[in-house]
Each structure stands twice: as C-alpha cells, then as structure tokens.
C-alpha cells in the first residue's frame, strides 16, 4: 500500500571494544527492515565525541573526516545490511563516543532518522589484541518521523 510505514532498525553487534594502542579497529552498525518507500535513499554517517557522557554533534566526525581518508587512517565501508568505520593505528585521542546514524531520504527531504546504542572503545597498554563485549544490545525500531535513539561509543582505557 502506498504510503504505508515499514519497520526499520539499527543495532550494534558489540558495545564495548578494548584494544591496545596502535591497533586497527572496525566499528559496525547493522540495519534491518525495510524503507518507508522502495525508492527512498538511505544515507549513513558516523559522528564522534571524546566525551562518553555527551551526545554526538552534527559535523563532528571521527578524526575530523566524513569520508574515507587513508592519510589519517579512516575508512568507511557499507553494504546492504551494515556500515562500518575502520580506524587505523588507534591512539588515546581516538577515545570517546562513536555514533552511527542513518537518514532515510524521500524526494530530497529527510523522512526518518535512526541511530543505534553507543559503542565504547577502551585503549590499553597490556592487551595484544582487541577484545569485544559479546553483550548484544536491544534493537531500536523506529516507526515515527524524526525519531532517533542513543548512539555508539568508543572509549580508551589508560
């Protein structure tokens, strides 16, 4: 039926990442469900704040880049079911909250906005590889216009 609302959700498979300084880390958000209208376009992005208790703000991208930039060690990857950011050679300045966000665009106007729960990255001096929390987070299903949820986090541990 034309105009019918569909269920769409964004989730994070892991909430806490604990990695050694110098490691490469991939943060992923998973999308499921269907768009409101089949012709709608999905646009995704990642935001960052060094303060894990604060909200991510518009325009504050990881390492200051909203696009892949190998020079500064940021790579964005997406497919039909998920989108990720890869941070290469992580440092303590990368510690903070990482937020994934999806906008659904219909006829060049924003229809819906979704985000997933926060991811936390702890940077250590004693781990030799990254460990991930296996605790799954509840999916956030959004059915109303302009609704959004809390976002992902990356935190380093000294």
- pLDDT at position 18 over 90: no
Closest-CA residue to 102 (of 156, 28, 38): 28
pTM to 2 decimals?
A: 0.73
Mean per-residue pLDDT of the chain: 74
- C-alpha to C-alpha distance for 97 and 120, rounded to whole angstroms: 6
User: Can you tell me the mean pLDDT for 34-63?
Assistant: 84
Per residue in 53-110, pLDDT tens? 788 888 889 998 888 898 999 999 998 889 999 999 998 889 888 888 888 887 776 5
pLDDT for 85: 92
Query: Structural domains in the chain?
Result: 8-138 (2.60.40.10)
Do 32 and 42 form a contact (C-beta atoms < 8 A)?
no
- pLDDT at position 146 over 80: no
Residue 144 pLDDT grade (very low, low, confident, very high; cuts 50, 70, 90)? very low
- pLDDT at position 41 over 60: yes
pLDDT for 138: 39
Tokens of 55: 């909200």
Find the DSSP H helices in the chain: none
User: Can you tell me the mean pLDDT for 28-55?
Assistant: 84
């Amino acid at each position: 039926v034309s105009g019918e609302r569909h269920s769409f959700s964004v989730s994070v498979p892991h909430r806490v990442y604990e990695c050694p300084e110098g490691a490469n880390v991939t943060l992923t958000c998973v999308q499921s469900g269907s768009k409101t209208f089949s012709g709608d376009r999905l646009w995704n992005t990642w935001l960052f704040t060094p303060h894990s208790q604060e909200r991510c703000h518009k325009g504050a991208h990881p390492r200051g880049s909203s696009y892949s930039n190998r020079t500064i060690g940021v790579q964005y990857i997406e497919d039909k079911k998920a989108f990720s950011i890869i941070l290469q050679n992580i440092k303590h300045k990368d510690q903070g909250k990482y937020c994934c966000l999806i906008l659904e665009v219909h006829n060049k106007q924003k229809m819906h906005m979704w985000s997933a729960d926060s991811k936390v990255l702890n940077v250590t001096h004693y781990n030799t590889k990254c460990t991930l929390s296996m605790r799954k987070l509840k999916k956030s299903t959004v059915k109303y216009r302009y609704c959004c949820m809390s976002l992902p986090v990356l935190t380093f541990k000294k």
